[in-house]
Structure 1
């Protein structure tokens, strides 16, 4: 049998040798150089890996005025429904529970609680697209599950009055950020001793101190007192546009030294009427404070007018494309969109754990 197998193989090989020689096809010529992908394609690819963590959305208050909405399918009455957030490469958003300045006194707390309740119901009703989060790990988990992380805050500091207990209660309900301005303990003259206690309690709870609109005296003192990174949720560069909430260079320098975060708003009044002007602010903050201290704040679904080309949350890739045209390194772009917010959230969590450990040791020693 083996001899027969050898004979068959030999016959086959002989037949192959009898076939006429056919030259294999020439390989296609190698291109001299591949054309670089256009900036918008590169921007979209980057946002797939490093989505936008949007520092400020006014959606809760906007939704209060609508008789009906569906964020999952898309709603033309808002700037940032789920389809547009996905198209814009948004992976997380801070939903502001600020209430208008016309609401004052004891009514601020009640209105803030209503806003918190609304956020929870909206996210629960749109659970295919949204998920509540308050820590860096929860934000990452939401992203891995294909959801857009929703963080509650900032809230107006007036909501807590002069009560740390109220602050703790708001944190227990999910509050992630508090704006330190407009109170007797965080005003034009800076922080009072009680204001400093508020900052320490924020650190212990893991709630971010937010300083957009705070006086410079308050901002500098919070940067000194806080053991956790702080946020400016809606601040551009005052050197480029003299808007009230924009930051002077000395404060940007102090923010960089403290490893805080300036979230530049897409708001025409603060950062200009074009994508290029917004990019100028991002360039400036990156240069003065450092690439690890700059982020993005859509300010969508607020009363702010938006620059041309940035009308809604789907337009983030166009802004990132402008920065790619300006030769921003990919590492800095990744920090801008996602990494810097994650770093600040991790810093707040670390400060909270450290504060609780110090308190535990003090109680054990006492």
Structure 2
């Protein structure tokens, strides 16, 4: 098996990155010929950790001036879970070791705008509480903005995002994660938009009555007629269609009928890590044709090939115990035991950059962004442990030869363009 080695410099540290033909990576230190590639022999090599990225002052300046927009963060549910939705019990103005996100981390990370997920569990759909719980999560985000007015401000438009970032605050947008939240009602979809939701993920982990999930049995072969109506209504409203979590058939179906760019708010590239939550190679050119954006998820289980395979096994195990009739406590215990016995390989920030490269190669640099999924995942790559770590991504992109303009696009300008385009397609005067 051959290896291609790219000699690069990261913040003044020279390293050689070796890529095997199967896509796996090794790293060796080589102080020679930075910026050149060479082919090395076919002798077997032990895989070693790649050298950490060192952030230079010039990269920090670029990062500080960029409009960093993250597509997905699950901190609202963690506040609900850890503090009964009360910021007085978990003050995010101070560093919180139980959270991947808090205000100091966001500031250190240079985040200028954040889509906050108002995810609710899919089983709320079966209990008839999906909408109520979603409204509670929207209320939580609104209370957060009100509780920390020096840090956050509500953004409803692309212009709002730019204005708020220019004021030195973090523009806060809302994303509904899963079509189960609308309880099969376009009227509910409209009201969620009125409350500030600016994207909706069509499904979460379960197939729903009008769309197939990537991680559940396909029942519809894409979207049902009502699912098509949902897409059209989101276009009319100016609400971004989020295709994370949906099956490839739903991805292609939605891309055929939407009039506005779509986003994948927190998905990675399936050509690098074969996980059903990732975007297949044959979909990426369609995203480019649509003008959409794939926002790369930071979860190791979606980034690292070995971790992706293990996470697929975990999903199958979870389905088995759910089908067994075990109660919630038994399911939680069984999954915790499985996780202890099958730890996911973490990978590193280089793995994330591999996914960005893949999307750029097949869709173009105008169609990739960042959707960390912080506080929604439990295993993260080295150097991406929390929301303070984004500057490492900027340095890594520069190391791989991306221009400053391209880095700014990836950090946020691409998704800002998609949001503005969705607004321009909107026709809210037509009921």
| SS of aligned partner of 1:154 | strand
Q: 1-side partners of 2:60 and 2:164: how far apart?
A: 20
Q: Are 1:223 and 1:258, in contact at CA under 8 Å, matched by a contact in 2?
A: yes
Counterpart among 27, 37, 60 of residue 44 in structure 1: 60
Q: Are 1:92 and 1:148, in contact at CA under 8 Å, matched by a contact in 2?
A: yes
Q: 2-side partners of 1:94 and 1:207: how far apart?
A: 13
2:343 maps to 1:321: no
2:210 maps to 1:185: yes
Aligned-residue Cα RMSD (Å) equals 1.6
- Per-residue Cα deviation, 1:121-164 (whole angstroms, up to 9, x for no partner): 11110111111112101111111111101111133201112211
- Per-residue Cα deviation, 1:15-58 (whole angstroms, up to 9, x for no partner): xxxxxxxxxxxxxxxxxxxxx97553222111222132011100
Structure 2 partner of 1:20: none
Q: Are 1:275 and 1:309, in contact at CA under 8 Å, matched by a contact in 2?
A: yes
Q: 1-side partners of 2:250 and 2:418: how far apart?
A: 20
Counterpart among 85, 102, 112 of residue 123 in structure 2: 102
Q: Are 2:122 and 2:180, in contact at CA under 8 Å, matched by a contact in 1?
A: no
Counterpart among 86, 89, 94 of residue 73 in structure 1: 94
Q: 1-side partners of 2:123 and 2:11: how far apart?
A: 50
Counterpart among 141, 144, 166 of residue 122 in structure 1: 144
Whose Rg is larger?
A: 1
Q: 2-side partners of 1:49 and 1:60: how far apart?
A: 27
Q: Are 1:154 and 1:210, in contact at CA under 8 Å, matched by a contact in 2?
A: no
Q: TM-score, normalised by structure 2?
A: 0.72
- Per-residue Cα deviation, 1:254-280 (whole angstroms, up to 9, x for no partner): 111111110001110111311111100
Displacement, 1:73? Answer: 3.2
Q: TM-score, normalised by structure 1?
A: 0.85
Displacement, 1:341? Answer: 1.4
In the TM superposition, what are the counterparts of 1:167-182 in structure 2 within 5 Å? 167-181=189-203, 182=207
Q: 1-side partners of 2:284 and 2:363: how far apart?
A: 5
Q: 2-side partners of 1:206 and 1:125: how far apart?
A: 28
Q: What is the count of residue pairs matched by the alignment?
A: 322
Structure 2 partner of 1:231: 263
Q: Are 1:94 and 1:154, in contact at CA under 8 Å, matched by a contact in 2?
A: no
User: Which runs of structure 1 show a deviation greater than 3 angstroms over 4 or more consecutive aligned residues?
Assistant: 36-39
Structure 1 partner of 2:367: 293
2:185 maps to 1:160: no
Displacement, 1:226? Answer: 0.8
Cα distance change, pair 277–37 in 1 and its aligned pair in 2 (3 A): closer
The farther-off stretch of 54-63 and 68-77 is 68-77
- Per-residue Cα deviation, 1:77-134 (whole angstroms, up to 9, x for no partner): 2111111111111101111011123333321111111101111011110111111112
Displacement, 1:76? Answer: 2.5
Q: Which has the higher helix share?
A: 1
Counterpart among 54, 73, 78 of residue 57 in structure 1: 73
Structure 1 partner of 2:253: 221
Counterpart among 406, 409, 418 of residue 344 in structure 1: 418
| SS of aligned partner of 1:262 | strand
Q: 1-side partners of 2:11 and 2:140: how far apart?
A: 43
Q: 2-side partners of 1:46 and 1:122: how far apart?
A: 29
Q: Are 1:136 and 1:345, in contact at CA under 8 Å, matched by a contact in 2?
A: yes
Q: 2-side partners of 1:265 and 1:92: how far apart?
A: 16
Q: 1-side partners of 2:296 and 2:176: how far apart?
A: 15
Q: 1-side partners of 2:293 and 2:92: how far apart?
A: 29
Q: Structure 2: which 5+ runs fail to align? A: 1-9, 13-54, 84-88, 213-217, 305-346
Q: Are 1:40 and 1:317, in contact at CA under 8 Å, matched by a contact in 2?
A: no
